[in-house]
Amino acid sequence: MIIEDCNAMNFLISTVLKKDFNITSAKNGIDAMHQLQSDLNRDLIILNISDVESDNFQLLEHISTSSVLKDIHRVVISDSNDEQLRSKSAELGASLFITKPFDPVLLSDSVRDLIKLNETSFGKKRKFSINMNIF
pLDDT tens readout for residues 109-130: 999 999 887 766 554 444 344 4
pTM, rounded to two decimals: 0.81
Question: What top-level class would CATH report for the domain 2-134?
Answer: alpha beta
- Answer whether 19's CB lies under 8 Å from 111's CB: no
User: Given CA atoms 25, 53, 70, 21 in this order, what sign does their dihedral have?
Assistant: positive
- The whole-number pLDDT of residue 126 equals 41
Beta carbons of 132 and 14 less than 8 angstroms apart: yes
Q: Which residues pair with 73 in a beta bridge?
A: 44
Q: What is the pLDDT of residue 75?
A: 93
Tell me the average pLDDT across 29-49: 79
